[in-house]
């Protein structure tokens, strides 16, 4: 099955990725840049200097102040959108799996970005090799993006922090970073996110969980095997233990939210049982990632 159906792609074309800040792009695009350029949107004045284009002299201001001022306009450039997929073993749970849901979310956001003439990159760290495509522009590049996303199979690194740190150090990305992950890690997922916020990126974290991770459906004496680490924890599931689990989960979620809020990271939690179209067309819009 293709990641996204044609009909759904057509509906995605009506949407646009929102960036909270105006950023400097690399190429001309349709998004306002911090650079001054040749768009029709007025930005500022500056004193006239020798060589300035006389067409931008503000004659009205000269008549009032008797000073030669040149009008500056905003430039329109593209936006760098970095899509990062966590494909560790813990993502291979749920029905549909967390990984599939994450892939479809990134594909949707990537497609919206490409349609908006933004520069899209996809990167997914792996235990053996990374999957990466960079500098995709325009909707015509969507198949390459989708292909790369589809190639990212389960088997990624257990911890995202080190690969992310390395990736940020070498790529020095700017723009928007959309990370799709379950953000479950013994040391706290915020340790992973710390690496990307330092890079000055606008980070959106799509947190995909299964309903069972919210409300476990377990009973009896079990050895719970960690899918990534292979370690086991012997439990006898009782109502009290379940309550303790909920308490531990709530505490983890609260700390994650607190971190994201303090670092201006948009945290978008969802579960795999949420209808996908609702998720993209409604939830992400309400959360301010799309419009």
What are the residues binding other proteins (CB under 8 A)? 89-91, 93, 98, 182, 184-186, 210, 213, 218-229, 231-238, 240-241, 244-245, 247-249, 252
> Which of 182, 202 has the CB closer to other proteins?
182
> Which of 101, 121 has the CB closer to other proteins?
101
Q: How far is the CB of 148 from other proteins (least distance, A)?
A: 24
Q: How far is the CB of 250 from other proteins (least distance, A)?
A: 10
Cα gap 117→64, rounded to integer Å: 41
Q: How far is the CB of 33 from other proteins (least distance, A)?
A: 41
> Which of 65, 153 has the CB closer to other proteins?
153
Q: For strands 119-124 and 131-136, give the pairing.
A: antiparallel
Q: How far is the CB of 183 from other proteins (least distance, A)?
A: 11
Q: What SS3 string covers 76-104?
A: EECCEEEEEECCCHHHCCCCCCHHHHHHH
Q: How far is the CB of 88 from other proteins (least distance, A)?
A: 9
214 close to 246: Cβ distance less than 8 angstroms: no
Neighbours of 10 (CB within 10 A): 9
> Which of 81, 157 has the CB closer to other proteins?
157
> Which of 16, 212 has the CB closer to other proteins?
212
Report phi then psi at 152, rounded to 5.
-75, 90
203 close to 197: Cβ distance less than 8 angstroms: yes
Q: Residue 259: CB partners within 8 Å, gap ≥ 6?
A: 188, 190, 193, 265
């Amino acid at each position: 099955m293709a990641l996204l159906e044609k009909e759904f792609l057509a509906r995605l074309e009506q949407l646009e990725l929102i960036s909270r800040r105006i950023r400097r792009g690399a190429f001309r695009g349709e998004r306002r840049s911090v650079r001054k350029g040749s768009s029709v949107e007025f930005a500022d004045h500056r004193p006239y200097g020798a060589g300035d284009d006389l067409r931008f002299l503000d004659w009205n201001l000269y008549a009032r102040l008797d000073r030669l001022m040149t009008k500056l306009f905003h430039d329109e450039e593209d936006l760098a959108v970095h899509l990062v997929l966590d494909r560790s073993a813990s993502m291979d749970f749920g029905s549909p799996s967390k990984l599939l849901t994450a892939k479809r979310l990134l594909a949707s956001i990537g497609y919206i970005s490409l349609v908006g003439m933004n520069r899209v990159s996809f990167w997914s760290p792996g235990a053996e090799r990374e999957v990466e495509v960079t500098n995709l522009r325009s909707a015509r590049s969507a198949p390459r993006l989708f292909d790369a996303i589809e190639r990212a199979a389960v088997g990624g690194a257990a911890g995202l922090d080190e690969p992310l740190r390395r990736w940020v150090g070498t790529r020095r990305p700017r723009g928007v970073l959309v990370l799709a992950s379950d953000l479950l890690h013994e040391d706290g997922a915020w340790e992973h996110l710390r690496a990307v916020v330092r890079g000055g990126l606008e980070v959106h974290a799509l947190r995909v969980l299964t309903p069972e991770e919210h409300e476990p459906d377990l009973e009896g004496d079990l050895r719970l095997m960690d899918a990534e680490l292979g370690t086991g924890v012997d439990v006898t599931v009782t109502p009290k233990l379940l309550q303790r689990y909920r308490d531990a989960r709530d505490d983890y979620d609260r700390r994650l939210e607190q971190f994201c809020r303090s670092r201006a990271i948009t945290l978008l939690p969802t579960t795999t049982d949420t209808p996908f179209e609702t998720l993209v067309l409604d939830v992400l819009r309400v959360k301010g990632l799309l419009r």
